[in-house]
Chains A and B, each alone.
Chain A
């Protein structure tokens, strides 16, 4: 089975721009979560989707949004980029967001640099 794929892998943007990141989960996985990873803040939870519904949202400003499509692929969007948004954005998929099938399979991440 192919793993979780994320595109693009690297991105450079300037302040004020917006960006869309894409995540394709493992085939058959219906749950997708997004995390922001920075050296000082560890893994911060952004969103969790299951069957196109947002189950949980982290403590991020409204500039961060996401969605999940019927094929379980997910996108996240960041508008009006700020320097502090520079980070590695990780997507993870699982069969279901609970119980024994809650194992998170992470993609390689998208490295976003905001100049």
Chain B
């Protein structure tokens, strides 16, 4: 079945450093979504990418969808302590397929 892997599993950065998490699917995706889960909280939707090669920005966050629609990345510029949490990508192989979540990347930011 469809598998979605994320690397790294965990990253610890100093505040102000940049951070990137990569998402790789075993199958082509119709779209890719990104979620953030704060410690003790539930996943919260960040963004959805649909087009091949699409790039979207939200303030310090930059999201990319690969040309082959099998991979994606989330880059955070100048991390802040408020960025702490686990970042998940999620995608469907087709409109009738289930939404498969990636394995997640836990980000820790210290001063």
Give the B-binding residues of A (Cβ under 8 A).
33, 35, 42-43, 45, 48, 55-56, 58-59, 90, 92, 97-100, 102-109
Contacts and interface: CB of A to CB of B under 8 A. Distances in A.
Nearest to A57: B98
B33 A45 contact: no
Size category of the binding interface on chain B: 20 to 34
Interface string B79-111: 000000000101010011111111110000000
A104 B42 contact: no
A107 B101 CA distance: 16
How would you classify the secondary structure of chain B's contact residues: helix, strand, loop or mixed?
Answer: loop
A102 B98 contact: no
A102 B101 contact: no
A57 to B, nearest CB: 8
Nearest to A91: B42
B42 A45 contact: no
A104 B35 contact: yes
